[in-house]
Structure 1
Amino acid sequence: MTLPAPLSGVVPPVCTPLTPDGEVDVPSLLRLVDHLVAGGVHGLFLLGSTSEAAYLTDLQRRLVVEAVVGHVGGQLPVLAGAIDMTTPRVLDNVREVTTAGALAVVVTAPFYTRTHPAEIGRHYRRVAAVCPVPVLAYDIPVSVHTKLPAELVLELAADGVLAGLKDSSGDLGGFREVVTGVRGRPDLGGFSVLTGSEVVVDAALALGADGAVPGLANVDPHGYVRLDRLFRAGDRDAARGEQERLCALFRMVGVGDPARMGRNSSAIGAFKAALHLRGVIDCPLTAEPQIPLSAEEVERVGKFLAAAGLL
């Protein structure tokens, strides 16, 4: 299998189920993959933010990719994050995930210190020069402290460095600039533009996005696939209605008490609690040092699922 150009549809950033002692729970991971495949998704993105990649060891990261690639057997394209602080460390990750079978890698700008656009450009060019598979940029300024400039993304796309963009910046104006720039260039017709937002997928598609990488699709893949299908069929009113249902479900990410945990603990904890309540994974544990949801918070997740017709 090769990566579609452009990649389109719903490509969930797959959660990484853990055992009670913090190891990768491979049987639960494969059940989750089966759940997503049954939901009709169009690809799988491993080792992103929703996958808790930043909290996993190098061995755990490789195990995730090997297990999923071996399980799906070419049914769907599998992308993997090669996300780390510096170019040399990203190159190490690229080698590991591509050896494990990933069809494309997803790479952020370098982080820890703020980087200049010229440094970001050098980073992506160095990665693409040695990477045996397509490279997609991952724009997530909340985590890497740097917003990818639209003009840089388009320059790297035109030079064949980048094959696509996953935009989790929340900047619809910047996203539109990339989409418009790509659509105005016939030679960039294979460049994939994907939104990482759960709550504006219909708006992103209306702007010309190729697809979405929503973390909530772990919980409700059928809903996002239905939204994508309705929009492409031209039924925008029905697509908007489905988006609004998913927006209501997405409010589960706020169940965690902000006085004792961060938003990431709450959001990933809610996704995993929902998957546990739905019988997909065995344990809702999040990786250290994230704080687990309380029993009362898990109960609130269950109410969101019930309201959405998922429990």
Structure 2
Amino acid sequence: MAFPAPLRGVVPPVCTPLDPHGEVDTASLTRLVTHLVDGGVHGLFALGSTGEAAHLTDARRATALETVVKAADGRVPVLAGIIDTTTPRMLDHARTAAALGADALVATAPFCTRTHPREIAAHFRRLRADTGLPLFAYDIPVVVHRKLPGELVRELAEDGTLAGLKDSSGDDGALRRLLVALGGRTARRTGPAPDFCVLTGSELTVDAALLAGADGVVPGLGNVDPAGYVRLHEAARTGDWARAAAEQERLAALFSMVDIAPESEMGRGSAALGAFKAALWLLGVIDHGATALPQLPLSKEAVAEVGRRLTAAGLPPVR
């Protein structure tokens, strides 16, 4: 499909359902894509952090992406994560993604070694030139161990290397400064990079980011409640900030499911992904709540609590 410039709206980072043996559960993944598209989302981000891309073999990555592209069937654009440690490895993933029909790519800076901004710029330019697909930078310092400099993002936006940014830095001040540098809330489309898209990954402050001029959100919780994030985006788009805040507060309460599992029992990634997948299982969207090794599974008690949070948010479980 023709890729929208800029991309706007809700673009969930699609979970990758797995069977008990760790293989991609393609039937469940197909149902999940249907759940998301029926919920009104504006795009799909396959093989991101929430998609457990770092835990999947290259063959499983390809299976997951192929399934998402086929299930989307051109109804919404599919962004493919090509996250890896070095430029050559990401180039391999990029070529596979292009061959499988992805509409755009999402890449971090390299993170095998410390890199200079000039090296990061060369990395993104090579990825963009190699496939010709629109390229989004993924700013996630918790993985890369450094934040993408705002001036570098702006440079790559202005010269057309980057089609957009997925900001998961948690640095709302830096995001606001970038938006101001690009023209601010009221002049983004006449600024130095009018087609550049800014998507926040901070799913608890989406209303604030949209008010500041962001174009949309990439919410992990959007797997569970895509329609809620779509309502939030629509309220913001029409300037109904009271309704947007009310929806954001409901989603923030639901998001608390990521903290159900005690820190003494498992990592925060395992707790969050386990909660999202448990919720999808309880809602009847996927067949198993399994997460990839070495992540630990939620306890039965934690899964039951996820169910109670769903009910409180108006999403009654079917299991």
Tell me the TM-score range normalised by the shorter chain. Answer: over 0.9
Distance 1:235 1:286 in 2: 38
**Residue matched to 1:230:** 235
SS in 2 for 1:229: helix
Residue 310 of structure 1 corresponds to which residue in structure 2?
A: 315
1:161 aligns with 2:161: yes
Deviations 1:67-86 (A, max 9, x none): 12122211110000011000
Match in the other structure for 2:51: 51
Give the RMSD, CA atoms, in angstroms: 1.0
User: Residue 261 of structure 1: CA displacement?
Assistant: 0.9
Return the offset for 1:260: 2.0
Aligned to 2:205: 200
Structure 1 residue 33 and structure 2 residue 38: aligned?
A: no
* Alignment partners' CA distance in 2, 1:13 and 1:285: 17
Query: What code does the residue aligned with 2:11 have?
Result: V
1:170-192 per-position Cα deviation (integer Å, ceiling 9, x unaligned): 00111112212222663411100
Amino acid at match of 1:197: S
Partner of 1:265: 270
2:133 equivalent in structure 1: 133
Q: Secondary structure at the match of 1:126?
A: helix
Partner of residue 249, structure 1:
254
Does the residue aligned with 1:298 lie in a helix, a strand or coil?
helix
The equivalent of 1:144 in structure 2 is 144
Q: CA deviation at 1:197?
A: 1.3
Give how far 1:43 is off.
0.5
Contact 1:115 1:146 in 2 (8 A): no
> How many angstroms apart in 1 are the aligned matches of 2:36 and 2:267?
27
- The residue number in structure 1 matching 2:117 is 117
- Number of residue equivalences: 311
Alpha-carbon contact 2:14-2:50 (below 8 Å) kept: yes
State the 1:65 CA deviation: 1.4
Moved more, 114-123 or 226-235: 114-123
**What's the secondary structure of 1:188's corresponding residue?**
coil
The CA distance in 2 between the partners of 1:65 and 1:274, in whole Å, is 22
2:236 pairs with 1:215: no
TM-score by length of 2: 0.96
% identical equivalent positions:
61
Confirm or deny: 8 A CA contact 2:138 2:165 kept in the other structure. yes
Structure 2 gap segments, 5+ residues each: none
Q: Counterpart of 1:80 in 2: which secondary structure?
A: strand
TM superposition shift of 1:113: 2.5
Inter-partner Cα distance in structure 2 for 1:182 and 1:135: 18
Structure 2 counterpart of 1:125, one-letter code: R
Deviates more, 1:245-254 or 1:107-116: 107-116
Q: Matches of 2:146 and 2:98 in 1, distance apart?
A: 26
Counterpart in 2 of 1:173?
A: 173
Residue ranges of structure 1 left out of the alignment (5+ in a row):
none
> Are the equivalent residues in 2 in contact too, given 1:98–1:132 (CA < 8 A)?
no
Whether 2:78 is the aligned partner of 1:73: answer no
Q: Counterpart in 2 of 1:7? A: 7
